[in-house]
Structure 1
Amino acid sequence: MMKMWRVGLDEAGRGPCLGPLVVGLCAVPINDVALLVEAGVKDSKDLSIKKRRELVDWYKQQMDSREWKYVVNICSPQRIDAALSKDGLNILEVDLFAECLNSLSQQLSENVSILADACDVNPQRFTDRIIARIRNWPWQQSEMDSIHKADSIDPVVGMSSIFAKVTRDEMIEEISQQVGFSVGSGYPSDPNTQKILGRLVTSPLPHSELRWSWATIKNKWMEKYETPPPIRNESINVQKTLF
């Protein structure tokens, strides 16, 4: 008898004006879900930076012996800006979630129960849009659902949120190293981010790690140059990691 799998998906970085949006996916046999709970997995927002990193390391250590899997899909600010000029952020997230599932399908595409943290006010619409993009769906003996706050309800979705958050935090650290100063969290409400935006919004083009289409960036550009900001080109940058 084939084992049943639980797959969870969540994102980190929808709201910031700087850095990537990251979608995480985790897949574990349903009989192993209790191990996530025992390890302290929960919504990434309820965990310290140290604990999140420890859980990612712990999860990776289980992968060989237990066949656990994860996917990380990193969406660049450039792709975010392109999406905002077309179908919007909700459709972009649909695409990103579907890309994770299509990556997973290279290893696992049957006996799967999928739960996503809904990024749409209408969870069923979010589900329907994703499955319309999944290769060879419906998978055998498989189902998918989306609910709001799934990361605080389901430990596999919670683990996915941890992967997404840790990955985004690491990339924000890389951006800080690249520019030579801390960029904060990247959220417009973060005073540390607000303080450095003027150093990244510079002529002739804003920094590549900024989301040019965000009101925060547009306003900062107008404040400095008194002209509308440039429109980003539409070439897309996609980076996925599958394990």
Structure 2
Amino acid sequence: MKSEKNEEPTVTITNLSQLQTFIKERNNWQNVCYMSQIPEVCREYPCILGIDEAGRGPVLGPMVYGTAFIPINEQTLLETLECADSKVLTEEKRDNIFEKICDQSGKIGWGVEIIAPTSICNSMLSRSRYSLNQVSMDAAIGLIRAALNLNVKIEHVYVDTVGKPEKYQEYLKSIFPKLKITVAKKADSTYPIVSAASICAKVTRDHSLKVWNFIEDLEVTEFGSGYPADPDTRQFLTDQCEPVFGYPQLVRFSWSTAENMLENLAYHIECEEEMEQKTPPPNTMAITSFFKMTRKNVNNVKTMHEFFTKRNLSREVDF
């Protein structure tokens, strides 16, 4: 995100419990990018890198972008770990595979960017609108750059698309001309490395909701999946709407679901229009003209005021 300053994590996450602690202790209103320890083999041998997201559609919680990378000559390990599209796996299975990915820290590296609901809203509701697609693309670019900056020897990048794959692929290629890049629909179910990235993203988002720390001091633990169609989520939006201030930071104000709820449940506020400035009368001097330096004529004499010149008065020193 352009306008949000990311935290710089100083922790090392090697299991699910440490991931939960990391999420719980962070500021929910800030974006944060985490990269695992880089396996030495990923610096020595050509690697493939996958990118996918979790939480693009929900009205509650962060959107998380995940990445995973592994040497090309080790990629069969991904099938051994049963990496598959995170959406077709149970939560227990996703957690289990995430633990296995962490256990293979000598061969597999991973990372996530957690994009806060507040950050998403600020982007989409700002005067110069910053679309969710652009937020997504910037997150993907940020993760690729993070891996490159840590000297991961990336050869081929696989990305699950947002928008048209051809256009997105061309855009990424213009930024990373030295890398092979494949952008595809349903890449998370086609390429195991994207499946691994998808699992890292989904597990991080799921546990972000589980351990969400309400700065508004709400004692709420049940709010559903966060998707607009979920009855528990809709009940949460109904119960937690404060008529003046709206919703806690868990909610994405920019979603139509939240906007419609606010329209029905919150107070309506009307702001006064600014008074239009009246056009000044003709020949009125601007206030700034009194603070300008006085011009000098060719003889280096100060220009006389209009009052004197209109009356044909001149300066005289010799009589």
Bin for the TM-score computed over the shorter chain: 0.7 to 0.9
CA 191–228 in structure 1, closer or farther in 2 if over 3 Å, else same? farther
Give the match's secondary structure for 1:175: coil
Q: Which residue identity lines up with residue 227 of structure 1 in the other structure?
A: H
Show the counterpart of 2:15.
none
User: 1:176: Cα distance to partner?
Assistant: 7.6
Show the counterpart of 2:149.
106
Give distance in 2, aligned partners of 1:109 and 1:58: 21
Give distance in 2, aligned partners of 1:161 and 1:228: 42
User: Contact 1:222–1:228 at 8 Å: present in 2 too?
Assistant: no
Aligned match for 2:112, one of 69, 72, 94: 72
Give distance in 2, aligned partners of 1:216 and 1:183: 15
Give the match's secondary structure for 1:204: coil
Show the counterpart of 1:84.
124
User: 1:200: Cα distance to partner?
Assistant: 2.6
Give distance in 2, aligned partners of 1:179 and 1:210: 15
Give distance in 2, aligned partners of 1:154 and 1:148: 11
Alignment of 1:92-171 (within 5 A): 92-108=135-151, 110-120=153-163, 122-132=164-174, 134=175, 137-139=176-178, 142-171=179-208
User: 1:75: Cα distance to partner?
Assistant: 0.3
User: 1:210: Cα distance to partner?
Assistant: 0.5
Aligned match for 1:208, one of 214, 228, 249: 249
Give distance in 2, aligned partners of 1:69 and 1:211: 31
**Aligned pairs, how many?**
221
Show the counterpart of 1:10.
52
Give distance in 1, aligned partners of 2:169 and 2:183: 6
User: 1:225: Cα distance to partner?
Assistant: 2.2
User: Contact 1:118–1:147 at 8 Å: present in 2 too?
Assistant: yes
Coordinate RMSD, CA, aligned: 2.1
Deviates more, 1:38-47 or 1:175-184: 175-184
Aligned match for 1:191, one of 210, 231, 234: 231
Show the counterpart of 1:220.
261
Give distance in 1, aligned partners of 2:123 and 2:261: 21
CA 228–129 in structure 1, closer or farther in 2 if over 3 Å, else same? farther
Show the counterpart of 2:314.
none
User: Contact 2:246–2:266 at 8 Å: present in 1 too?
Assistant: no
Give the match's secondary structure for 2:149: coil
Q: Which residue identity lines up with residue 211 of structure 1 in the other structure?
A: R
User: Contact 2:49–2:157 at 8 Å: present in 1 too?
Assistant: yes
User: 1:111: Cα distance to partner?
Assistant: 4.5
Deviations 1:47-104 (A, max 9, x none): 11111011111111111x32x2111000011111122231311111011111111111
Question: Greater share of helix residues, 1 or 2?
Answer: 1
User: 1:116: Cα distance to partner?
Assistant: 0.1
> Sequence identity of aligned pairs in percent?
29
User: Contact 1:201–1:217 at 8 Å: present in 2 too?
Assistant: no
Q: Which residue identity lines up with residue 268 of structure 2 in the other structure?
A: T
Larger Rg belongs to: 2
Give distance in 1, aligned partners of 2:172 and 2:225: 29
Give distance in 2, aligned partners of 1:131 and 1:172: 34
Structure 1: gaps (5+ residues): 230-243
User: Contact 1:9–1:157 at 8 Å: present in 2 too?
Assistant: yes
Aligned match for 1:42, one of 84, 97, 122: 84
Higher relative contact order (CA 8 A, sep 6+): 1
Give distance in 2, aligned partners of 1:217 and 1:39: 39
User: Contact 2:48–2:71 at 8 Å: present in 1 too?
Assistant: yes
User: Contact 1:176–1:183 at 8 Å: present in 2 too?
Assistant: no
